[in-house]
Amino acid sequence: MQERMSQTCDVVVLLSGTGSNLQALIDSTRTGDSPARIAAVISNRADAYGLQRARDAGIDTRCLDHKAFEGREAFDAALTEMIDAFNPKLVVLAGFMRILSAGFVRHYQGRLLNIHPSLLPKYKGLHTHQRALEAGDTEHGCSVHFVTEELDGGPLVVQAVIPVELQDSPQSLAQRVHGQEHLIYPMAVRWFAEGRLSLGEQGALLDGKLLAASGHLIRT
């Protein structure tokens, strides 16, 4: 393991918003023993606060406005070129509000992670907290997964499960889920950077062993 950790794993983070998960990743990679290094943060929105978080941490930033391109494929081709200039081993989606083209996903197969605010495969897409409450769920949470061509459908790496309280609103549920996101996303990135996490033909592998369909479960 020490040999694996001696090499730095450069990471590029893609985001569209405030970047709270980015901040958790920045904090986790500044511990001194982390093999991961955030090489760049790229956003499709110039006003994304996540870019300021990156600048404050001395991390390279780029902005690529999707509205300047005709179609998803053209934007994704330019985005790929921008990412590859940093030669990352891992690309991390942290609130990147774009549906990615199949070509983009295939280009980064096995080194593209996303976090989603639900216990996948439940509630793919948006408004997950409201949907969980409307369904009367007793548990909710968040999931880190490898990205595939299926929206929010790639092999699961790790899920954090929290109880749904009687008094919960979508806002209170979101706040608690965010707290769990900030724990499990850095964990998954570190696993990858250490060489412990990979994508195999049958699904996600941790330490060479196939993870369950639900990924590694953490309950609070």
Give me the tens of pLDDT residue by residue for the chain, a chain 220 residues long: 334 445 899 999 999 999 999 999 999 999 878 999 999 999 999 999 999 999 999 999 999 999 999 999 999 999 999 999 999 999 999 999 999 999 999 999 999 999 999 999 999 999 999 999 999 999 999 999 999 999 899 999 999 999 999 999 999 999 999 999 999 999 999 999 999 999 999 999 999 999 999 999 999 8
Query: CA dihedral in degrees (130, 181, 118, 15; nearest 10)?
Result: 80
Q: Is 116 a catalytic residue?
A: yes
CATH tag for 1-108 (out of 3.40.50.170, 2.60.98.20, 3.40.50.2300, 3.40.50.720): 3.40.50.170
Residue 163 identity (one-letter amino acid) = P
The phi and psi torsions of 97 (rounded to 5 degrees) equal -90, 60
Cα–Cα distance measured from residue 105 to residue 111, given in angstroms and rounded to the nearest whole number: 9
**Encoded tokens for 135:** 């369904």
Among 107, 116, 140, 178, the active-site one is 116
State residue 162's pLDDT score.
98
Domain boundaries in the chain?
Answer: 1-108, 116-219
> Would residue 100 be called left, alpha or beta, if left means φ above 0 and alpha means ψ between -120 and 50 degrees?
beta
Mark out the alpha helices in 44-169 (DSSP H runs): 49-56, 72-84, 102-107, 128-134
Query: Which has the closest alpha carbon to 81: 94, 99, 67, 69?
Result: 69
Residue 72 assigned ligand-binding role:
yes
How far, in Å, CA of 58 to CA of 2, rounded? 27
pTM given for the model: 0.95
Same fold, 1-108 and 116-219: yes
The domain 116-219 is classified under which CATH number: 3.40.50.170, 3.40.630.40, 1.10.1660.10, 3.10.310.10?
3.40.50.170
Q: Which residues pair with 15 in a beta bridge?
A: 43
- pLDDT (0 to 100) of residue 6: 52
151 is in an annotated binding site: no
CA distance 79 to 15: 12
Residue 47 has a pLDDT of 97
**The token pair that represents 41 in the structure block:** 């943060």
Using DSSP's 3-state secondary structure scheme, residue 52 falls into: helix
Q: Does 114 count as an annotated binding residue?
A: yes
